[in-house]
Amino acid sequence: MKFFIDTANIEEIREAAAWGIVDGVTTNPSLVAKSGRTLEENLREILDIVDGPISAEVIGTETGEMVSEGRRLAKIHPNVVVKIPMISAGVAATKILADEGINVNVTLIFQPAQGLLAAKVGAAYLSPFVGRLDDVGEDGMAIVQSLIEILDNYDYRAEVLVASVRTPAHVITAAEMGADVATCPIAVLRQLFRHPLTDRGLESFLADHAKAEKAREDTKLRSV
Ligand code: G3P
């Protein structure tokens, strides 16, 4: 499974990239707003850190606006993936951009039918928002399962990109289901490394090593 980091924060991207596990980056207008910089400023820096798909979202809501924004973003670098919201105008824009060879990530997917439509018009990625579905009492991961089954039946090029990931359990369930990508905030990526028994085990290994070294030194001193 590919791991993307879901942030527009450059320090977070640098930190996660240094771990060697980051295949790409997703941003959205809220994350860009939080960074205090423009999308383009962030994009240019991110492209220098991660050599993989970087999703950049359009702001327009009419097909024409989304297409011109998408073309402008895609021109910045071949790794830029244009993120388009799952509305009918967005599906139309996705078809135009995909036909031109531009990679599109269709975002804000909350039900399988939306994913099917996005796949049909040539989206490169389908982004179901699992955490936000859980928030309203639905089973977020169920849509991931459904999208994987739908894509198995046809030759659509789309990959399932699990988004709005809130917990390591989301990531593991996504991997068990065979999702192509999980995009995670840095907090979730950090959690994936940790277990208290790992910390406790390492602490005792190092303490035992130090004790043995000290005993060896003491023996050496005594024999001099
Ligand atoms: O990738 C989409 C993601 O940024 C949304 O996450 O936590 O705001 O629902 P969240």
What are the pLDDT tens digits along the chain (224 aa)?
999 999 999 999 999 999 999 999 999 999 999 999 999 999 999 999 999 999 999 999 999 999 999 999 999 999 999 999 999 999 999 999 999 999 999 999 999 999 999 999 999 999 999 999 999 999 999 999 999 999 999 999 999 999 999 999 999 999 999 999 999 999 999 999 999 999 999 999 999 999 999 999 999 989 87
Q: CB of 122 within 8 A of CB of 96?
A: no
168-177 and 140-153 helices cross at what angle (nearest 10)? 20
Q: Where are the alpha helices (DSSP H) in 8-158?
A: 10-18, 29-35, 39-49, 63-76, 88-99, 112-120, 130-135, 140-153
Residue 4 Cβ inside 6 Å of ligand 1? The answer reads no
Topology of domain 2-193, per CATH? TIM Barrel (3.20.20)
Cβ contacts of 201 within 8 Å, gap of 6 or more: none
* CA 187 – CA 131 distance, rounded (Å): 14
| Residue 2 annotated as catalytic | no
61-93 residues labelled b (16+ CB within 10 A) or e (exposed): eebeebbebbeebbeeeebbbbbbbbbebbbbb
What is the reported pTM?
A: 0.94
Residue 6 Cβ inside 6 Å of ligand 1? The answer reads yes
Would you kindly state where each structural domain of the chain is located, as residue ranges?
Answer: 2-193, 197-224
